[in-house]
Amino acid sequence: MAKGYWVSVYPKITDPESLEVYNQRAGLAVKAAGGRVLASIGSRIVAHEAGLAERVVLIEFDSFDQAVAAYESAAYREALAELPDGFERDFRITEGLG
């Protein structure tokens, strides 16, 4: 079964401290859903072509369905409610190649 991944890129974070409650709740929700953080805050980045050297978060799940279910979980919905106003991110769920 192919793994599932959350891929998030944060093009604009004006106040990183305002994300602390979200980060804590999201981390608990991801862990409870079986997710594993592969890259996050502090990861080194080299951007090429149209890429931006911005924060990237990569989270792995055992399956695509598990990744979708984690996003739709009540625990993660509560975390999303903590995102501050004016916050921007490019978020997607993708299936691994198998």
CATH code of the domain occupying 4-95: 3.30.70.100
Q: What are the structure tokens assigned to 40, written together?
A: 């996050």
pTM of the entire predicted model: 0.88
What is the per-residue pLDDT across 45-89, written as a single tens digit (0 to 9) for each?
888 988 777 888 999 999 999 999 999 999 999 999 998 887 788
- Residues 37 and 80: beta-carbon distance below 8 Å: no
Domain locations in the chain as residue ranges: 4-95
Mode of pairing for the β-strands spanning 4-12 and 36-39: unpaired
| Among 86, 9, 16, 5, residue whose Cα is nearest residue 54 | 9
State mean pLDDT over 34-39. 96
Residue 13's pLDDT band, with cuts at 50, 70 and 90, is confident
Cβ-contact 26, 10 below 8 angstroms: no
Mean pLDDT (whole number) for 13-38: 91
